[in-house]
A and B are shown apart, each in its own frame.
Chain A
Amino acid sequence: MAGTDGSNDFVVFDQVQKSYDGETLVVKNLNLSIGQGEFLTMLGPSGSGKTTCLMMLAGFETSTHGEIRLGGRPINNIPPHKRGIGMVFQNYALFPHMTVAENLAFPLQVRKMSRGDTRDKVAKALDMVQMGEFGDRRPSQLSGGQQQRVALARALVFEPELVLMDEPLGALDKQLREHMQYEIKHIHERLGVTVVYVTHDQSEALTMSDRIAVFDDGVIQQLAPPAVLYEKPDNAFVASFIGENNKLSARVDSVTNGVANVTIDNGDKVQALAVNCGDGGNTMLSIRPERVLLSPDAPNRLDGKVLELIYLGDHIRCRMAVAGHDEFIVKVPNSSDHAALNVGETCPVGWVTEDCRALDAA
């Protein structure tokens, strides 16, 4: 997790606000500390303010209020080229009139590094991304994945302590994207550089990050390591944004020892883990499809009617009608114990109380 070598607040957003038009806040009171060597992902739907935060950190946007600190030093008034932050852009932003090697040499040349050192560092950086033989090519002669590697090498070649990545894999096809995710993760582990990564792709965020900040509506909804984010979402937005989720709206009857007794809209009474619900108010029950149990002796038992079965190889995806909701999804492992589902049949549905989280009703 945070801070492989010390400082837990290498990058600090301190009460940062941003407005473009003076009427609406795109970023609302952002407080965020990023540790040195950490891989932090800003995840959220488009328009949630994550890219704005990245641009403020890079220096291409100025914050309307608040302070951004890098290594303890306020950087609000430092122009981008003096911040020494590497950046990888969505469309690579390689300079088309320069060869790959010239692209990589650019940050070293503007730093007035000697020719010999420049050549060595460029060669080293290209080897790091396995592009050593492509130094003389133009960016237009490379495939998308190769351009992405070059962009990555260029952002790292001048050895910045912080690298920002703005949806760098967005333009690649699925297979290549997954491959590059591992590659970026490994480079991060090898170099120990701090990475702030922006994406709207949750699987990308889960694969690579030490911590994920889920953005919505200009606010960080939850900041947690991937496992926590998936297993223990704080609110309804995070629960539905990360992974698949069954949602049942219900009413809280009472809360005892962190367990909520709730009545689902159709009158069934069940128990859930009280996370983010008041006593006596509306709530939204959230349960992962793979945590639903299909056995008559499960706790919190309801009746479900099988509406649709989709065969997906390793598991069977089963859409059911449960407690008045037609979109209740259950992932049934493709093993011999669970072979007996048929469309139209009724079967018992239940869950362990800890797996069902009572969240805000939004």
Chain B
Amino acid sequence: MTDASYQVDAVHRTQTDASGLLLAADGTPLKKKLREALKVSRRRAFLLVAPLLLFIMASFVIPILLLLAQGVKDSTFSSIMPESTAILSEWDAKSDPSEEMAAALVADLISAKATDRSLATKVGTRVNREVSGAISLFKKTTRKASKMEAPFLDALHATDKKWKDPAYWKAMKIASQTITPAYYAAAVDKKYLADGSFVDQPEDRQIYVKLFVKTILVAGGVMLCCILLGFPVAYLLAHLPARKANLLMILVLLPFWTSLLVRTTAWIAMLQSAGVLNDIFVWVGITTDDQRFSLIYNMTGTIIAMTHILLPFMILPIYSVMKAIPPSHVRAAKSLGATNWTAFWRVYFPATVPGIGAGGLLVFILAIGYYITPALVGGQDGQLISNFIAYHMQKSLNWSLAAALGGILLVLVLILYWLYDRIVGIDNMKLG
């Protein structure tokens, strides 16, 4: 038997086990063998990304999850005031506050004071979010708590008349819940009541829903402006001779290489009432010196500056898509009898939609969470939801509300992403 015929023989003698699975030469199932063979390369791939994965988990994913959890979880009250928490959870929030509740409150306050004087203030601050005047009430009560004697309900009433008002007890009941929908309710202008129902916030305190709507409208407006301004530029970039296109590309990318802060402050210099743009308007005669346009510290300024800053994110995806459209497509359309406009609208434009979609989604998502630019050039009128999230993080220190607002924003973006996937298809998106 020659060598060649022996090899042919070996190839054809594949083995199978009882259930018909293919076996490798040593008798183990072929699939298992393949998994083993791939294991090494899979492990190597995992090790290569492991440092980045760890970094992102530790610095990004876990903190975000913890913060988001704050939106529904608040243990300030329940950890400092354990006895009250236990009794308040049994209270139906309709009958009058009982002597046991009062006793538990006083006991909790005494033990809190013994641990740390500031703890009672923390509790007061938490309750104050539900009903105003609670901070001073708690401070005062804590001061006198150690001297109180039974019956504690009367002692409390003697300390401050506010304790006769069931609103404070109801507020404590709300605050005592560790898992609470109160913040998410507040983030959509609802008030969570002690009996578990929701009511609208008073008219003058309904700000967040309007703010979400405004933020979405601004982001949508900026996206539209970017599409209108970016599409022709991308077209020019894709169709100019290489040398001119490169120069233009540098001009497009130049803002990318400049700090966001610098660009935003540059817009202040441009747009303010004594700024360059208004000077030109006056000089040309569009307006007079005493009637300069207010282009900044309002919505106009926010939209102008955000459009400018986000424009490259629109141009680049559209450009890369246009670059890939063969010129023969438009030529074919024309040779088939289409006018320039028909060839553009029916053949060229549909081919650019994935780029517009990608750029639009990118700009919209960036715009919906924009913070620095509205903060600097937005004034009172041009503030967006992220500015309020920052306010609650830094000034009011109501992190739970900030987390709830952020959570809603996240869900909004995910919904948009899902919609985009349904309508356009994520696989159609081209970022470059």
Contact = CB atoms under 8 A, between A and B. Distances in A.
Contacts of A82: 337
Given A89-B331, A91-B326, A93-B331, A107 B351 contact: no
Contacts of B326: 91, 93
B356 to A, nearest CB: 13
B244 interface: no
B335 A80 contact: yes
B336 interface: yes
A93 B337 contact: no
Interface stretch (B308-316, B339-347, B366-374): B339-347
A94 B343 CA distance: 13
B332 A89 contact: yes
The listed residue with most A CB atoms (<10 A of its CB), out of B329, B332, B334, B340, is B332
Interface in A137-166: 154-155, 158, 164
A90 interface: yes
A38 B167 CA distance: 98
Contacts of A86: 335-336
B362 interface: no
Contact of A87 (B331, B346, B347): B331
Nearest to B339: A81
B338 interface: yes
A8 B296 CA distance: 73
Contacts of B329: 93, 95
A81 B334 contact: yes
A86 B337 CA distance: 9
A70 to B, nearest CB: 13
A60 interface: yes
A179 interface: no
Contacts of A333: none
Contact of B328 (A83, A91, A164): A91
B362 to A, nearest CB: 22
Specify the main secondary structure of chain B where it touches its partner: helix
Interface residues of B, number: 19
A92 to B, nearest CB: 8
A7 B398 CA distance: 89
A58 B336 CA distance: 11
A90 B66 CA distance: 58
Given A59-B334, A96-B351, A106-B336, 8 more contacts: A58-B335, A86-B336, A95-B347, A106-B333, A106-B338, A111-B337, A155-B336, A158-B337
A85 interface: yes
Nearest to B347: A95
Contacts of B351: 96-97
A110 B332 contact: no
B207 to A, nearest CB: 44
Given A96-B351, A97-B350, A110 B337 contact: yes
A135 interface: no
A106 B334 contact: no
B328 A154 contact: no
Interface of B: 326, 328-329, 331-340, 342-343, 346-347, 350-351
Given A80-B334, A106-B333, A106-B346, A93 B339 contact: no
28 contacts: A58-B335, A59-B334, A59-B335, A79-B334, A80-B331, A80-B334, A81-B336, A81-B337, A81-B338, A81-B339, A81-B340, A83-B335, A84-B337, A87-B332, A87-B335, A87-B336, A90-B328, A91-B326, A93-B329, A93-B331, A93-B332, A95-B329, A96-B351, A106-B346, A110-B339, A154-B332, A155-B335, A158-B337
A85 B347 contact: no
Interface residues of A, number: 28
B331 A154 contact: no
Interface of A: 58-60, 79-87, 89-91, 93-97, 106-107, 110-111, 154-155, 158, 164
B335 A95 contact: no
Nearest to B336: A107
Contacts of A90: 328
The listed residue with most A CB atoms (<10 A of its CB), out of B326, B328, B331, B336, is B336
Nearest to A80: B334
A59 B334 CA distance: 9
A96 B342 CA distance: 16
A79 B331 CA distance: 11
A265 B226 CA distance: 73
Contacts of B333: 95, 106
Contacts of A83: 335
Contacts of A84: 337
A91 B326 CA distance: 9
Contact of B336 (A60, A96, A158, A164): A158
A81 B346 contact: no
Nearest to A90: B328
Contact of A60 (B331, B342, B350): B331
A44 B350 CA distance: 36
Question: What 8 A-B pairs come out closest when comparing CB atoms?
Answer: A107-B336, A93-B332, A87-B335, A93-B328, A80-B334, A89-B328, A97-B350, A81-B334
Contacts of B334: 59-60, 79-81
Contacts of A96: 351
A21 B333 CA distance: 27
Nearest to B331: A60
A340 to B, nearest CB: 34
Contacts of B338: 81, 106-107, 110
A155 B328 CA distance: 13
Contacts of A106: 333, 336, 338, 346
A85 B350 contact: no
A85 B346 contact: no
Nearest to A97: B350
Contacts of A154: 332, 336
A100 to B, nearest CB: 14
A89 B333 CA distance: 11
The listed residue with most B CB atoms (<10 A of its CB), out of A84, A91, A93, is A93
Given A95-B347, A97-B350, A97-B351, A107 B328 contact: no
A107 B336 CA distance: 5
B355 to A, nearest CB: 13
Contacts of A164: 335
Contacts of A81: 334-340, 343
B206 to A, nearest CB: 45
A110 B336 contact: yes
Contacts of A95: 329, 332-333, 346-347, 350
